[in-house]
Amino acid sequence: MIQPASPDLITVYIDGKEIAVPKGTNVIEAAKRVNVDVPHYCYHPKLTVVGNCRMCLVEMGLPAVDPATKAPVMDPATGKQKVNWMPRPTIGCATNVSPGLHIRTTTQMVKDCREGVMEFLLINHPLDCPICDQAGECKLQEQSAGYGRGYSRFVEKKNVKPKRTLLGPRVMLDDERCILCSRCIRFSKEVAKDDVLGFIDRGSYSTLTCYPGRKLENNYSLNTVDICPVGALTSTDFRFKMRVWFLKQTNSIDTESSAGANTVVWSREGVVYRVTPRQNDAVNDTWMADSGRVLYKEIRAAGRLDSVRVEGSESALEFALGAAAAILGKGGAAVVGSGRSTVEEQFLTRKLAEALKAKASLVSRVGEGDGLLVTADRNPNVRGALVTGLAAELPSATLGTLAEQIDSGAVTSVVSVGEDLAAAGLSEAQMAKISIIYLGTHANATSRAARVVFPTLTVFEKHGTLVNQQFRIQRFAKAVPGVAGAVDDLTVLSRLVSACGGAYLGSDVGTVWTALSAEVPALAAIRYSNIPDTGLLLDGSPWAALPFAEGASLHYKPGSAPQEAAARG
Amino acid sequence: MPAPQQHRLIFRHIDEPGYSNDLACYVRNGGYEVLRKAVQRKPEELIDEVKKSGLRGRGGAGFPCGVKWTLVDRKSGKPIYLVVNADESEPGTFKDRYIIHQDPHQLIEGIMITCFANKVERAFIYIRGEFPEGARILEKAIAEARAANLVGPGILGTAYGCEIFVHRGAGAYICGEETGLIESLEGKRPYPRIKPPYFPAVLGLYQCPTIVNNVETLCHVKHIADMGGEAYSKIGTPNNTGTRILCVSGHVQRPGFYEFEVGKVTMGQLLNEVCGGPLPGRTFKAVIPGGSSAKVLKFGERYKGKRKVGADMVDYDWGVDDIPMDFDSLAMIGSMGGSGGVIVMDDSVSMVEALGNINAFYSHESCGQCTPCREGSLWMKKITSRMVHGDARPEDGALLKSVADQIAGRTICAFGEACAWPTQSFIAKFGDEFKAYPEAKKQPKPDGVPELV
Amino acid sequence: MNLKAETLSRIDEVIPHYPVKRSAALPLLHLVQEDQGYVSSEAIEWIAEKLGLQPINVYELVTFYPMFRQKPIGRRHIKVCRTLSCAIMGGYRTCAEFQKQFETRLGDVSPGGDVTVEFVECLASCGTAPVVMIDDELHERVDAARARELSDKIKAGAPTDTGRR
C-alpha cells in the first residue's frame, strides 16, 4: 500500500539504506533505526548535545543542486540526484536529518577518525581494566576492541590525576579514567538541577570535580554512574561486588512512588546486586532516584517473614487458610487493601472483600514530591486500586472509619494485605480487640498481633503490574525466587477468596488476568502477556475529578487529560 | 624590485610624535567626522559600502566582513550584539595593541559606525587580560566619547544610541575563537560552540544574533565609511583589498609593524628591505607568515602552479621571497595570511626546538573540550619535549605528523588546525632535520643560541 | 569578605553592563583579585552568591584562566613571555636571569617575598622581544642584562619604569 509520506518524516540514507525519520532526529538516532551503530561517548539522548568526544564523526553528503536555479543535479550514470560529499567528517550527534541527507559510516575516513579518537582517549587512560568495576559495560573497552588500533604508540608519561575521590555518599570518582565527556555535569545541571560538578584546569589536565566542601548527594546522584561511559564514576554500593557479565537482567518497576520509573534488576543466583533505570521516554526517560535503587535490600532485610503462622505457631498453608476462613466466616470482617499491592493482588483483594461482604479501605502514603521521579504519592499503585474497583475514592489519611467500626464492635476481624495497621493509626487497644489476618513481607506490630500470618513476596520476587500516576499500566517480572517459606501473594489471596466462598481465580498472573480482563472494563482489551515493556496508557477520565496528591513531575502534569494520551498510546 | 612605500591607513598616527590617545587629539586630526556623516545615512547603505569594499577580516580567517554582516539574523526580534575581538593572542601578532594604546578613538569610531549600520545597541570589547593598560585606555576613551555625545544614548543629535563596554579576558588564547569568546563573555569556560547550530550571526551572545569583528577590521570600517567602498576596494589587489598591518618578529634587523596595501609587498621585500634582512652573519631559514598557527615556509623551497591574473591563468614559480603578502597568494602556496604575524627564524634555530616551543603553546592553550585537540596537542608537546630534553628517536617526526593528522579537521573549532598545522608543516618541510635530530643534539649548541623548549 | 569600598562600588557598577549577571564573573574575579591579591575560596563563594551562581561555576573559571591565582604572590609579579618570537630572541635566558636574581623557582614566591616569576604565553609584543610584564607594565627587549637592572630596582623597592609612553 502506498501512503503519502508524512509531512513530519524526512527520508535519509545511512550507508545506502533508506529510512524515513521524524524531523529533528539526529544522525546517531537515525542510524540506530537501520541497525547502524554510530559509536559515541558524550552524546546522550536525554541531555544537551555538546559534541566533545568526536567519536561519532561520519561522512555526510547532501543532494546536489544547481546553485543558480536550485534545480537538482542528476547523475547520468545512476539517474539519481548527485550527492555532494563534504570533504571533512561531521559529528552525528549534532547533525540533524535534512531531506536527502546521505551518511557513510564505513569509509576509510570514518575508520581513521574513530581509530584516532580511540587512540587519543586511551593515551592518558590507565590500563586497569582487570581491576576496573566498569569492565563489561565500559564503552571505552568495547569500542577500543571495535575501533581501536590494538597497540600503543604512546611512550610518554601519562597524566596523573586524583584517584578514588568520594564525590558523595554513593558515588566514587577516578579522574584518571575520566574521558571528560561531561555527561555527569550536564545531568547534574540539566536534570537533577544540582549544579555541583564541573571541570577545573584546562586542556588535557582538565579534571572533573565537585566543588570543594560540596557533595554530589542529591537523590539522583547514581544516574551519573549509569551514564558515565567509562569507569570514572562508580557506585559505592555496587563497586567490586560482582562482574556485570555474571548478572541476569530483569525488567522491573520502581515502587517507591506513583511515578513508576522503569528499572532493571541485576541478579545472580537468586541474589540482587543492583537496580538501574530502564529507558522509558514517556515515564522516566533514562533516570531513576537513588532511593529506589536500594529497595532491593528489603529482600534480605532483618524481620523478613518466612513462615506461615497461626496463633504464633508455624503452620502449613492449608491449615492457615482454614483458620483464616474460620475467623472471617464469623462475620464482621473488614479488608485493608494496599496501594502498594499489584493490580492482580488488588483485584483479588476486591474479590475477597466481595466474598466477605466486607468494606475495603486503603492506607494513604503521601509525602513531598521532588518534581522529578519521586512523586507525592508514595503508594505506587493507588490508580490500580481505582481501576480494579478495589477502591472508588482515594485512600484517606487514617483508617478512621475502620477504627470507629472496631470501637463500635461492627468489625471484629480484619484482613490486612501488607499494611501495618498500627502505622496506619489503629491503637493498640483497637488491634487487641479484633482478629487480624496479615499478609506481608516483614514483621511489624500487625504481624505480631495477627492470629494468622501469611509471609508474602517483595516486588523482586514476583510478577505483576502497577498503574502509575499517568494511568499507565506497567509490567514487572520476577527477578529472584522468593525467600524460603514465603508464599506468592496471589496464591494466598486466591485461595483465601475460595476458602471464603468466592470463586477460585488462579494463583498465577496469567490466570488472574483472564478474570481481570473479563470483569474490569478498563482492562478488557489487555492481557498480561501483551503489555508492552513501556506500559500501556489506560483511560483515567472516570477518576479525573479525584484530588490526586501528585504535583508536576517528569512527564506528568496534574489534570492533563489522560484519555487523549490513551488515544495516542 | 624595490619595496613599495608603506600605506599607513590604520597606523597613520602610531608612534607619531605629539599624537596622544585622548579625544581632543583625535578630533584635532579629523576624528569622528566620519561617524558624524555616517549617522545621517541609511544603515543599509553603510553595509553596502562595506560589502563593496571587499574588506576581509583581519583576525585570522580572512572572512569577508560584508558577508558576515549580511548573515546576521535581523528578523528574530532579538537584540543584535557587536563583540569586538581584542583578544589578540595569535603568537607573532601585535597590531591591535598599538591601535588600542595609541589610537583608541579610531577603534571606537569604527565600532560606532558598525553598530549604527547593524542597529546594534550594545557592544562589548573583549580585550585580552594581558592588556590591563589597554583596557583602562579604552574605558577612558569611551567615557570621553560618551561625554561628547559620540557614544551612549541619542548620539550626535539622532535617536540612535549605543553603549560600549570593555570586558577583560584573563589569559586564554581560545577566547580569540569567536564562539569561545562569546562563552567567555557569558561568564563560562570559553569552550567553543558546535557549529551548527551555534553560528554567532544567529545564535551568538545570549543566543542573540551577534557580530564578532577584529579590532583592525573595525578600524578599516571607519575608513571605508569615509572614502566609500568603491574607493577602498581600489586599494590593495583584487579580492585582497585595503591595507594590511604586517607584524614582523624574530630574526630580522628591524622587527616591527608595517602597513602596506594588501598584496603589494612580497615576503622578500618585507624581510630584506623593509626589515633590513637577516641578523649579521645569519641567513633566513624559515618564516611563519600569518601567526604561529600558519604553516611554515622554508627558504629555498619553490611554489609552482597556475594562478588567476585578471581573466587569465598564468604559471607561477615562486621562492619564499616572491610571495605577495595577501590572503589568496599565501593560501595558494599552502599557508595563510592569518593574523598578519610574520615570525622569522634564521639558521641558528633548530626546527625541532622551535616546534617544541609552538607545541608547548598550543597544548597549554587547548581548552580541553574536544578529544583530538585536547589529547593530541599535549601528546605532540610531550613528544617534542622528550626529543629536546630526553631520548629523541629518528621515527618521532613521523609519529608527530601522524598525531597531527588525527587532529586537523576533526575538532569543534579551528584550534584543531591551529595546533596541527605547525607540526604537519614542520615535518613536511624539515623532516630530515627531525630524523637527524637524535644525532645532531649530541653536538654542543653554539654560544648565544637560546633555549626554546 | 573584606573588600574595599571602592572595589564594592566598582562591582556594583560593572554588573549592569550585562543583560545576564553571569557575564560579570570575569570582571568580578579581576576586581576581587586586584583587591585581595588572589582569589580565595571565600571569594569564589562570594562572587557566586553575588551573581546567583553555584560556586562550581566560578571555580571552573578561576582554574581555567591562568591570570587568576588561588594563592598570594610576591610583591611584584614578573611574567616573562615564553612563546616563539620571544624565545628565539632569548626569553628563556631572561626568565632564568630573573629566577637567579631572586633565587626562586617558577610560580613560587621568592624568599623574602619580593617577586613571583612566571613564564606566560604570548604577550603580543613580539616585535620588541623578549618582553616581560611586571605587574601591569610591559617591558620590552628585556635581555639578561636588562633583567638584572630591573631586578636591582625591584630589590631596592624602586619603580620599574618601562621607558615607553
A49 contacts B371? CB cut-off 8 A: no
Q: Is the peptide bond before B190 cis (omega within 30 degrees of 0)?
A: no
Residue B126 — very low, low, confident or very high, per pLDDT cuts 50/70/90?
very high
Which residue from A116, A154, A180 is facing B410, i.e. has the nearest CB? A116
Lowest mean pLDDT, pick from A148-152, A197-201, B82-86, C53-57: A148-152
Question: pLDDT tens for residues A138-166?
Answer: 999 999 988 888 889 999 999 999 999 99
Measure Cα distances from B442 to A185, B314, B392, B439, C159 in Å: 49, 47, 10, 6, 44
Question: pLDDT tens for residues C17-72?
Answer: 999 999 999 999 999 999 999 999 999 999 999 999 999 999 999 999 999 999 99
Higher pLDDT, B88 or A536: A536
A196 contacts C56? CB cut-off 8 A: yes
DSSP letters spanning A162-210:
--SEE-SSSEEE-GGG-----HHHHIIIIIS----EEEES-GGG-EEEE
Give the model's pLDDT for residue A6.
61
Residue A560 — very low, low, confident or very high, per pLDDT cuts 50/70/90?
low
Which of C64, C80, C120 to probe the B interface (max B CBs under 10 A)?
C64
Share of chain A above pLDDT 90, in %: 90
Buried b / exposed e over A343-362, threshold 16 CB at 10 Å, is bbbbbbbbbbbbbbebebbb
Give the model's pLDDT for residue A347.
98
Tell me the CATH number of domain C76-155, given options 3.30.70.990, 3.60.15.10, 3.40.30.10, 3.40.50.300.
3.40.30.10
Give the model's pLDDT for residue A564.
41
Higher pLDDT, A38 or A151: A38
Average pLDDT score over residue span A47-66 = 96
Contact partners, residue C102, CB within 8 Å, separation at least 6: C110, C111, C112, C114, C115, C117, C151
**Sign of the alpha-carbon dihedral angle for B175, B178, B179, B183:** positive
DSSP letters spanning B165-220:
EEEE--S-GGGGSHHHHHHHHTTS--PPPPTTT--HHHH-GGGS-EEEEEHHHHHH
Return the domain boundaries, chain A. Answer: 9-106, 124-240, 309-568
The yes-or-no verdict on residue A396 having pLDDT over 90 is no
Average pLDDT taken over every residue of chain C: 96
- Alpha-carbon gap, residue A548 to B351, rounded angstroms: 75
The yes-or-no verdict on residue A563 having pLDDT over 50 is no
Q: What 3-state class would DSSP assign to C131?
A: coil
Higher pLDDT, C161 or B75: B75
For chain A, say whether C49 makes contact (Cβ under 8 Å): no
Give C63's contacts in chain A (Cβ within 8 Å): 200-202
Topology annotation, domain A9-106: Ubiquitin-like (UB roll) (3.10.20)
- Alpha-carbon gap, residue A48 to B197, rounded angstroms: 12
Residue A304 — very low, low, confident or very high, per pLDDT cuts 50/70/90?
very high
For residue A452, the cross-strand partners are A310, A437
Cell of A409: 464492635
Give the model's pLDDT for residue B220.
97
**Sign of the alpha-carbon dihedral angle for A92, A93, A94, A100:** positive
Return the domain boundaries, chain C. Answer: 5-64, 76-155
Give B184's contacts in chain C (Cβ within 8 Å): 26
Lowest mean pLDDT, pick from A121-135, B103-117, B287-301, C104-118: A121-135
Which residue segments constitute the domains of chain B, with CATH numbers given? Answer: 23-234 (3.40.50.11540), 242-346 (3.10.20.600), 351-440 (1.20.1440.230)
Question: pLDDT tens for residues A441-494?
Answer: 999 999 999 999 999 999 999 999 999 999 999 999 999 999 999 999 999 999
Q: Which of residues 22-51 of C touch B (CB under 8 A)?
A: 22-27, 29-30, 51
Residue C163 — very low, low, confident or very high, per pLDDT cuts 50/70/90?
low
CATH code, A309-568:
3.40.50.740
- Alpha-carbon gap, residue B294 to B301, rounded angstroms: 17
For residue C115, the cross-strand partners are C76
A202 contacts B368? CB cut-off 8 A: yes
Cell of C115: 617577586
Average pLDDT score over residue span B126-146 = 98
For chain C, say whether A200 makes contact (Cβ under 8 Å): yes
- Alpha-carbon gap, residue B285 to B287, rounded angstroms: 7
CATH match of A124-240 with 3.30.70.20: yes
Measure Cα distances from B40 to A300, B49, B108, B156, B157 in Å: 84, 15, 18, 10, 10
C63 contacts A200? CB cut-off 8 A: yes
- Alpha-carbon gap, residue A558 to A442, rounded angstroms: 34
3-state helix, strand, coil in chain B (%, to 5): 45, 15, 40
For chain B, say whether A89 makes contact (Cβ under 8 Å): yes
A 10 A CB-CB count for B33 gives 12
- Alpha-carbon gap, residue A27 to A94, rounded angstroms: 8
DSSP letters spanning A330-358:
TS-EEEE--TTS-HHHHHHHHHHHHHHT-
E strand or H helix at A360, and its extent? strand A360-361
The yes-or-no verdict on residue B137 having pLDDT over 90 is yes
The yes-or-no verdict on residue C165 having pLDDT over 60 is no
E strand or H helix at B362, and its extent? helix B351-365
Torsion of CA A298, A302, A307, A311, to 10 degrees: -120
The yes-or-no verdict on residue B38 having pLDDT over 50 is yes
The yes-or-no verdict on residue B122 having pLDDT over 90 is yes
Minimal CA–CA distance to A224: which of A179, A251, A184, A193?
A184
Which of B199, B375, B383 to probe the A interface (max A CBs under 10 A)?
B375
Interface predicted TM-score of the whole assembly (ipTM), two decimals: 0.97
For chain A, say whether C70 makes contact (Cβ under 8 Å): no
Which of A96, A155, A200, A208 to probe the B interface (max B CBs under 10 A)?
A155
Average pLDDT score over residue span A331-360 = 96
> Residue B25: what residue type?
C
Measure Cα distances from A215 to A168, A212, A235 in Å: 5, 8, 15
The yes-or-no verdict on residue C93 having pLDDT over 90 is yes
Give the model's pLDDT for residue C161.
81
- Alpha-carbon gap, residue A233 to B426, rounded angstroms: 40
Give A40's contacts in chain B (Cβ within 8 Å): none
Average pLDDT score over residue span B67-82 = 96
The yes-or-no verdict on residue A561 having pLDDT over 80 is no
Q: How many CA atoms lie within 13 A of A178 on its CB side?
A: 33
Average pLDDT score over residue span B343-364 = 98
Question: pLDDT tens for residues A170-187?
Answer: 999 999 999 999 999 999
> Residue B32: what residue type?
Y
Minimal CA–CA distance to A26: which of A7, A6, A4, A48?
A48
Answer yes or no: are the C-beta atoms of A356 and A335 closer than 8 Å. yes
Tell me the CATH number of domain C5-64, given options 1.10.260, 1.10.10, 3.40.50, 1.10.3470.
1.10.10
Give the minimum alpha-carbon distance from B184 to chain C in angstroms, rounded to a whole number: 8
Cell of A198: 564541573
